[in-house]
Structures are given as C-alpha cells and as structure tokens.
Amino acid sequence: MPPKKMMQAAIEKLISDRVAAAIAQDRATRSNTSGAGGSKGNTDGNAGGQGGAPPARECTFTSFMKCNPTTFHGNEGAIELCKWFEKTESVFGISECAKRNKIKFAVATLQGRALT
C-alpha cells in the first residue's frame, strides 16, 4: 500500500513542532553551559548569549554548503522531511552556524514545491 500524502496543514504543524523543539533544545543547552564552570559560558555573565565575545570564526554560507546539507523538494513525504530536519540540525552543529544564520541557510536547501 503506497504511503498517504500529507495535508499542507499537517506538514506546517510538523515543521512548527520540530522548530519549537529545536529552539527549546538550544535554549536548554545554552542555559546548561552558561553557568559557572561551563565550557561555553559567556565571559560577561550574560546567560542569553547576547553581548558576549563573537566566535573566533563565524560560519559562512560557503562553509555551511561544504558540509553537504540535504536538499528538500517538498514532495518526498513526512519521513523524508524528518530526515531533512535531522540532517540540517547536524550540519548546523558541524559548521557551528550562528543562530541568526540558521533560517537563512536552511531555506537555501529548499527547492521546488518546498518553496511554495
């Protein structure tokens, strides 16, 4: 039996849920490492990660693309969408991509129907 196609609303909810989970995980990671003795804590004591020293080397779009992120065309289905999320999150970790660039770089991996 072929897999059922997802409705647009279900896909949007899945994306929203995964983004919310990723943000929550990022915030939890930041709060765990920003305390005393944290290896990635800010030197100015700002737990939000803002106002601290910038990273020594910032991820560029070129370095992000060299990590071979998966493209998503929008017609692969829910399982492939979940795999795309996982691969994209992995590439963000490998390339040490700044939070402000993540959406811009992830959108660059969307193609075809995924852009509409």
Query: pLDDT tens digits, residue range 86-108?
Result: 999 988 888 888 888 898 999 98
pLDDT at 29 over 70: yes
Instruction: Count CB atoms within 10 A of the CB of residue 114.
Output: 17
CA angle 61, 49, 17 (to 5 degrees): 70
Going from N- to C-terminal start, the domains of the chain cover 8-36+56-115
How much is the pLDDT for 112?
Answer: 87
Instruction: Count CB atoms within 10 A of the CB of residue 85.
Output: 19
Q: Which of 16-30, 46-60, 71-85 has the lowest mean pLDDT?
A: 46-60
Between 4 and 26, residue with greater pLDDT: 26
Question: Rounded distance, CA 96 to CA 10, Å?
Answer: 30
pLDDT band at residue 36 under the 50/70/90 scheme: very low
pTM score of the predicted model: 0.49
Q: By C-alpha distance, which of 31, 34, 29 is closest to 45?
A: 34
Question: What integer best gives the mean pLDDT of the chain?
Answer: 77
Query: pLDDT tens digits, residue range 48-78?
Result: 455 555 545 678 888 888 888 888 988 888 8
